[in-house]
């Protein structure tokens, strides 16, 4: 018996490890065992999902192609306002889940994804998290694209009590297309059999209605005009710029839950946790960031990664009238990615043809490629710039030239359009004086006698204050006067060409105009070579490239991942500081205490953050504050660092604009070789943190910190950061 057992074990060992000599029957056995293991794993996952789903009283799911993340966060805010314990899974710019306990403020945690790759299995993990904290409501955003995956998530695992379809905007046509109707058919797969569904879709509503009838689902719709009935001042109650249709959809959810519209609006505005990529301006307009003498704000449009969304946000920010709003210095930060070449081409064309800005700062990867795309788009724009006479001659060589009036109108329109597009140009003397007056806070009318003479303007500006003008300010005065002189000379050349009245003179001016426009366009273009630059250094770099005393409006575009992630996160952090400062003036003592505690918990402050906090608290102390709270504010104000680490950050013009040192380049190249081991460690630590949070072995704050660190590390640069930290500890 013993010999037979040893012989069987030996044969099994040879079966597993021998590369040859196995029979078809043995191969079939191995294939059967592997299949059995796979089926068993699927069944285990199914049982886990069913058990977790059975413990949750209310499940609300949502899908769509545009605005689904923002809608999920509005739903989470509404449920949180009711004092219900909840878990809400949302993707947006980063995979997140929101957790909140009974009558407590909800918090946002990163949903760790190994190698930043999404799988449907994470749905089971989040369901188990909801089960572990005994959530009364589970909200989730569908992240699948494949209809089979979507039906597994919806009809097998979660089985929604209420579902929402935001819209069926044509997107992901390579997977859900090729036609818009195909996208609507895919989106309608989310409708559960005999379920309750609310949709805000208008154009493809018949497709969704047909699928709802097939599945015997109750479908409620939002009228096309519902969003337009919400007044702008009502929408401004929200902490960021919300889409009216999405808010109308949330109102309909409130009706399903028996809630009034006013209650829904107020509670969403108070409890919502904005997504990292929402269109929002940081800090508030009343409390801008002060860097040197500049006042800087940031509008996050980085989630709009295509032309239609970008231009829609541009209009919502009221930046589409460059001739009317030229006192604000508008800078576009384009976060480029090497793995998104078609998107780079699209945004290169947007920079050249669609948006009027004072400057473009390009960050991220493949900057040379992006510059090449901009050159192509600029050349195409300038090639199209032909007088009507030249275009007519190309179509019909024997045709007569266009009339002089047509050529005159064309030239005037070209000059007006292109000078408006180059937003940094002062178009007349009053504009020049208004722009320069901000350098020292002088009265623009006091500069009228100086005209456009740089020396006289400098002397007039110097008279407005005791401190002498520094190099930066003097350089800006000369540069601004040079721009004005260039515009004036170019206008004089146009007037001379129009006075000559010949087609040849206009064509000659058009050739000069193309070169003039090309040179000025590239003056506003700047690329940051350091892909690992941190948010504070990048903010300081951008502000240094803006005029002294200017009101700077920075607009982020194209992508939010990679280099732009830390940049955007820093602005979100500034927004949190600004929000806490605003709550210090609340009549609710508990809210005041929480706001001050939030400020205390904000660590590693840099210089402009300390300045923002100081100005905010000093403003609060000027008002009516209780004696005890005034003492706490004064104590915290005195505890702020006098030198908050500005020297630890690289100087923008010295570090961010040149390639990194050789040893950093070596680490960047060596990092992928070790990333597999680091990924295993990160995944293990993230899973332990999630499980410890479920079991209440660590606090939610600790889980937030660990999951954030693990998610940020897998974006890249972890080896460089570790080496710098190690060297700093050795010193």
Give the pLDDT mean for 217-239: 87
Q: Tens digit of pLDDT for each residue in 35-53?
A: 999 999 888 888 999 999 9
Whole-number pLDDT of residue 648: 40
What tokens appear for 700 in the block?
Answer: 């939610």
- How sure is the predictor about 214, in pLDDT bands with cuts at 50, 70 and 90? very high
**Separation CA 235–CA 241 (nearest Å):** 7
Are 534 and 401 within one domain?
Answer: yes
pLDDT band at 521 (very low <50, low <70, confident <90, very high): very high
Q: Which of 227, 254, 271 is where one domain is finished?
A: 271
Residue 378's pLDDT band, with cuts at 50, 70 and 90, is very high
pLDDT (tens digit, 9 = 90+) per residue, 288-329? 889 988 999 999 998 888 888 899 899 988 888 877 766 789
| Count of structural domains, the chain | 5
DSSP state string for 325-353: --SEEEEEEEEE-TT-HHHHHHHHHIIII
CA–CA gap between residue 75 and residue 259 (Å, rounded): 13
**Which residue, 223, 249, 271, sits at the end of a domain?**
271
- Statement: residue 662 has pLDDT above 80: no
pLDDT higher than threshold 80 for residue 107: yes
Q: What is the DSSP letter of 567?
A: H
In DSSP notation, 654-719 reads: IIITSPPPHHHHHHHHHHHHHHHHHHHHHHHHHHHHHHHHHTTSS-HHHHHHHHHHHHHHTTTTHH
Domain that holds residue 246: 57-271
Average pLDDT, the chain: 85
Q: Are both 108 and 247 inside the same structural domain? A: yes
pLDDT of residue 19: 64
For residues 105 and 128, state if they share a domain.
yes
**Whether residue 596 sits in one domain with residue 549:** yes
Instruction: Please give the share of the chain, as a percent, with pLDDT higher than 90.
Output: 35
Tell me, what's the pLDDT at 15?
A: 65
What was the pLDDT predicted at 566?
Answer: 85
Helices (H), 1-23: 2-17
Q: From the centroid of its chain, how far is CA 292?
A: 26
Are both 111 and 208 inside the same structural domain?
A: yes
Q: Are residues 490 and 583 in the same domain?
A: no
The mean per-residue pLDDT over the stretch 499-520 comes to 87
Together in a domain, 582 and 606: yes
- Least confident segment among 177-181, 405-409, 619-623, 631-635: 405-409
Do 90 and 222 belong to one domain?
Answer: yes
Q: Clarify whether residues 123 and 172 are in a common domain.
A: yes
Per-residue model confidence as pLDDT tens digits over 151-161: 889 988 999 99
633 shares its domain with 729: no
Binned at pLDDT 50, 70 and 90, residue 464 comes out as: confident
Are residues 674 and 649 both part of a single domain?
A: no
Instruction: Compute the distance between CA of residue 569 and CA of residue 571 in angstroms, rounded to an integer.
Output: 5
Tens-place pLDDT, residues 325-344 = 667 899 999 999 888 888 99
**What average pLDDT score do residues 267-278 get?**
85
pLDDT, residue 646, reads 47
Picking from 523, 543, 578, the residue at the C-terminal end of a domain is 523
Q: Per residue in 535-587, pLDDT tens?
A: 899 999 999 999 988 899 999 998 888 788 889 989 988 988 998 898 898 88
């Amino acid at each position: 018996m013993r010999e037979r057992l040893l012989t069987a074990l030996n044969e099994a060992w040879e079966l597993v490890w021998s590369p040859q000599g196995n029979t078809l029957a043995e191969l079939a056995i191995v294939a059967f065992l592997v299949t059995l293991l796979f089926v068993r794993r699927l069944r285990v996952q199914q049982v886990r999902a069913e058990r977790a789903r059975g413990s949750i009283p209310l499940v609300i799911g949502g899908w769509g192609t545009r605005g689904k993340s923002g809608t999920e966060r509005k739903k989470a805010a509404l449920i949180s306002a009711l004092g219900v314990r909840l878990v809400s899974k949302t993707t947006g710019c980063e995979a997140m889940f929101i957790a909140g306990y009974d009558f407590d403020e909800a918090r946002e945690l990163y949903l760790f994804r190994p190698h930043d790759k999404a799988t449907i299995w994470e749905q089971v993990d989040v369901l188990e998290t909801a089960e572990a904290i005994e959530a009364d409501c589970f909200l989730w955003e569908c992240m699948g694209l494949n209809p089979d995956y979507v039906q597994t998530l919806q009809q097998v695992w979660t089985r929604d009590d209420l579902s929402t379809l935001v819209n069926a905007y044509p997107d992901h046509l390579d997977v859900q297309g090729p036609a818009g109707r195909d996208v609507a058919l895919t989106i309608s797969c989310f409708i559960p059999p005999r379920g309750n569904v609310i949709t805000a879709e208008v154009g493809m509503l018949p497709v969704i209605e047909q699928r709802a009838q097939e599945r015997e689902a109750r479908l409620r719709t939002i009228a096309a005009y519902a969003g337009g009935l919400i007044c702008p001042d009502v929408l401004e109650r929200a902490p960021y710029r919300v889409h009216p249709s999405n808010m109308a959809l949330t109102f309909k959810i409130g009706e399903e839950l028996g809630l009034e519209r006013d209650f829904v609006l107020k509670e969403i505005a108070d409890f919502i946790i904005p997504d990292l990529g929402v269109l929002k301006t940081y800090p508030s307009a009343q409390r801008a960031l002060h860097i040197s003498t500049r006042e800087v704000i940031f509008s996050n449009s980085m989630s709009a990664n295509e032309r239609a969304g970008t231009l829609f946000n541009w209009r919502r920010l009221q930046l589409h009238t460059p001739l009317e709003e030229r006192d604000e210095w508008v800078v576009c930060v384009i976060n480029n990615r090497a793995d998104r070449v078609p998107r780079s081409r699209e945004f290169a064309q947007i920079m050249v043809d669609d948006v009027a800005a004072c400057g473009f700062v390009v960050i991220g990867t493949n900057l040379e490629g992006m510059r090449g795309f901009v050159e192509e788009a600029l050349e195409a724009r300038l090639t199209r710039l032909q007088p009507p006479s030249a275009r007519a001659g190309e179509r019909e060589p024997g045709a007569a030239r266009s009339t002089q009036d047509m050529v005159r109108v064309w030239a005037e329109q070209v000059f007006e359009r292109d000078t408006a597009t180059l937003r940094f140009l002062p178009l007349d003397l009053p504009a020049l004086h208004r722009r320069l007056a901000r350098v020292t806070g002088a009265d623009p009318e006091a500069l009228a006698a100086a005209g456009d003479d740089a020396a006289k303007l400098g002397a007039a500006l110097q008279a407005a204050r005791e401190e002498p003008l520094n190099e930066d300010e003097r350089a800006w005065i000369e540069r601004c006067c040079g721009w004005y002189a260039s515009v004036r000379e170019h206008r004089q050349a146009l007037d001379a060409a129009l006075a000559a009245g010949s087609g040849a003179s206009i064509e000659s001016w058009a050739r000069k105009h193309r070169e003039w426009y090309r040179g000025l366009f590239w003056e506003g273009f700047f690329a940051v070579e350091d892909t690992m630059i941190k948010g504070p250094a990048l903010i300081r770099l951008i502000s240094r490239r803006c005029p002294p005393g200017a009101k700077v409006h920075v607009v982020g575009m194209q992508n939010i991942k990679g280099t732009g992630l830390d940049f955007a996160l820093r602005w979100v952090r500034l927004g949190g500081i600004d929000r806490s400062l605003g709550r210090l003036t609340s009549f609710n003592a508990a809210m005041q205490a929480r706001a001050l505690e939030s400020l205390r918990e904000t660590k590693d402050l840099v210089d402009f953050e300390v300045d923002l906090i100081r100005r905010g608290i000093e403003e609060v102390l000027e008002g009516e504050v209780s004696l005890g709270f005034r003492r706490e504010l004064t104590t915290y104000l005195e505890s702020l660092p006098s030198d908050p680490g500005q020297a630890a950050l690289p100087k923008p013009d010295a570090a961010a604009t040149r390639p990194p040192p050789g040893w950093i380049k070596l680490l960047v190249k060596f990092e992928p070789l070790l990333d597999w081991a680091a990924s295993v460690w990160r995944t293990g630590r993230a899973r332990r943190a999630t499980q410890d949070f479920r079991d209440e072995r660590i606090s939610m704050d600790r889980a937030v910190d660990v999951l954030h660190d693990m998610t940020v590390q897998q974006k890249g640069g972890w080896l460089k950061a570790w080496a710098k930290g190690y060297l700093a500890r050795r010193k």
